[in-house]
Structure 1
Amino acid sequence: MFRILPFLILEVQLYLIRAFFTVEVPQLRYIAEYGSNITMECRFPVDGQLNLKDLSVSWAQKELEEQKSKEVYTLQKGEEDLKSQHSDFKGRATLLRDKLNLGSSVLQITNVKLTDKGSYLCLIDYRGADYKYVTLEVKASYARINVQKISEPEEEELILTCQSEGFPLAEVFWKNEKNLIVNESVNTTYTLTTDGLYNISSMLTFKPNTSENYSCTFWNKELNAETSYIFTLAQKSVSHVGRQSLILFIIPTCVIAVILISALIIFLKRKSLSKLHAKKDNKRKYPWLHKEDHRDLTPQTQDLIMANVKDSSDCTEV
């Protein structure tokens, strides 16, 4: 009886200490994109100005599939202690120390990997001790789709290929431009990369007898997300070729027409200038014919007078 009493007293003391010192988490679940950065937080009471030498912080990871824990980051009595840090987090996990004065322990993990997923323990020891768990989920959306288009002239077939990497495993759907799923002649395979990503490749083989368009879609059921790529297979039709030939005929014809019209305009201008010069010469030779008393004569009468004048002038010269 008396041997059990000290243990009971110790349990009561620990309970009272924990009741006054409580660690809280503003968020229980975090979701990070593969290759991005993530920060996770737990909060503790400071009660005035923080005495860093009295503070110890420990972050540890427990993977969902395993029971073993990995040390992520440790701050021991205000000093960073990375001796026991797991190799998976070296150079990637750190504590934002400027947040500690606010009573906030913020763990930052850069270049998130799939192996980072799991449950994380945040343990705070500062004039009392308490801990909380948060969960980190990692997703890798099939954001980038690599495509390829291969023509097989001998088989009169066309092969369309879509390839992408992501996590978790996604389904691939092929659709035509009528939004109907195409199941025939589709071959989809996948492999696992060294990073744990799924490398999915899907091929559609068909005979392109029309200009119909096709699309491939990567559907990630667990993330409720999809990524698509549309293949444009529009071919040149006979009408298109006819229009192209017509354009090739019209352009040279228009150029020739412009040249001929320009030449005609130049010719008419020159002819008009020649007539004007001839008229001026007549005025100089026969000024009396342009006096005011002959202005009422008709052009025919003036031409007849001019002809007689020329005949008389020719006779005189003889």
Structure 2
Amino acid sequence: MFQILKMLLLETQVYVLSGERELFTVEVPQQLYTVEYGSNVTMECRFAVNGSLNLGLLTVVWEQKRQGQPKSKEVYTLRNGKTFPPSQHHDYIGRAALLHSELKLGRAILQITSVKITDAGSYLCLIDYQGVDYKYITLEVKASYKRINTQVMRKPGEDKVVFMCQSEGFPLAEVFWQNEKNFNLSGSANTTYTLTADGRYNVTSILMFKPNMGENYSCVFWNKELNGATSAHISTLALMSTQHSGQKSLILFIIPMGVMVAVLPSALIMFQKRKSFKNGKPKKERRRKLNPNLKDENRDDFNSQTEAVYLSTVTESRDSGSVGL
């Protein structure tokens, strides 16, 4: 890329010295852009179109160079009026575009969506249109520590409490701890960080000590480069409410279990008595209940015996010539 740039600049100098062409210049209305992580940005450089634009003669190149990186990244290239996607760096595929509708006005506007931390750096805007010139634009990306995740827990087997604050942002932030009287507790804190895939810092700070129950504490993420601070408040009441909830849950578990233990023996006794009562009933009575049409065998036997005795008595009376009633 730099070899092409040198050749184009040399070509321009020859045209100027020979008087065949006026000096072609590129201007930038803004040299520094500062944007929030995840937002969109448009950067612009301008050039003269001399009344009307001949798109087939226009070449626009946008490149990004990060400090400490040996090579630049090609963000977007328009060559002889046509987009040249093969040269675009994969970090910008689908995110970087040139607003073609603005070219006829002499405005080469680069738009980058969903800005990442790695998008920060110096951007080259080179334009070749009846002459060659370029300018540099700086893009700064900030990621405020907006959301702070907090956690409070009691250290097992000790009377100390562990407070934790965690957040992500950029640049690297310092973390300070203080109580509600603004007394600095940072000396007892342990703060560590890691880098995320998109270049932000994942900062975690842990403070472990014996607090005054019911007192409020704060962790403050201080971003020196952005001159901004974000804080979160933690109260030991949260720990007390957690313990109370645990005790309440235990009570709600114990009470039903106690009721079941008390009621179960009584239910078993009633069941055994009912079973014994059913087993003690005569079989015939149970059979009669099951079949109401079933005759009583004892009653039939009694009637048969009575009839036999009566017939025997009548016979004997006839033989003796009298009947006794």
Structure 1 residue 235 displacement after superposition: 8.4
Match for residue 20 of structure 1? 23
> How well do the aligned residues superpose, as a CA RMSD in angstroms?
2.5
Structure 2 Cα separation of the partners of residues 18 and 198 of structure 1: 51
Q: TM-score, normalised by structure 1?
A: 0.66
Q: 1:134 aligns with which of 119, 137, 142?
A: 137
Structure 2 Cα separation of the partners of residues 182 and 17 of structure 1: 73
1:272-312 deviation digits (Å, cap 9, x = unpaired): xxxxxxxxxxxxxxxxxxxxxxxxxxxxxxxxxxxxxxxxx
Q: 2:87 aligns with which of 74, 78, 84?
A: 84
Aligned length: 230
Q: Which amino acid aligns with 2:92?
A: F
Match status 1:165 vs 2:168: yes
Match status 1:103 vs 2:110: no
Over the matched positions of the two proteins, sequence identity in percent amounts to 60
Match for residue 198 of structure 2? 195
Structure 1 Cα separation of the partners of residues 76 and 239 of structure 2: 63
Structure 1 residue 236 displacement after superposition: 12
Q: 2:212 aligns with which of 195, 209, 213?
A: 209
Which consecutive residues of structure 2, in runs of 5 or more, have no partner in the other structure? Answer: 1-9, 241-325
Q: Which amino acid aligns with 1:130?
A: D
Contact between 1:64 and 1:117, CA under 8 Å: does it hold in 2? Answer: no
Structure 1 residue 220 displacement after superposition: 0.9
Moved more, 207-216 or 70-79: 207-216
Match for residue 304 of structure 2? none
Structure 2 Cα separation of the partners of residues 115 and 18 of structure 1: 40
Match status 1:63 vs 2:83: no
Match for residue 46 of structure 2? 43
Structure 1 Cα separation of the partners of residues 225 and 72 of structure 2: 26
Structure 2 Cα separation of the partners of residues 193 and 236 of structure 1: 31
Give the 3 Å change call, closer, same or farther, for CA 162–46 of structure 1 in structure 2. Answer: same
Structure 1 Cα separation of the partners of residues 214 and 72 of structure 2: 57
DSSP 3-state at the match of 2:162: strand
Contact between 2:153 and 2:239, CA under 8 Å: does it hold in 1? Answer: no
Give the 3 Å change call, closer, same or farther, for CA 158–17 of structure 1 in structure 2. Answer: farther
DSSP 3-state at the match of 2:176: strand
Structure 2 Cα separation of the partners of residues 9 and 185 of structure 1: 65
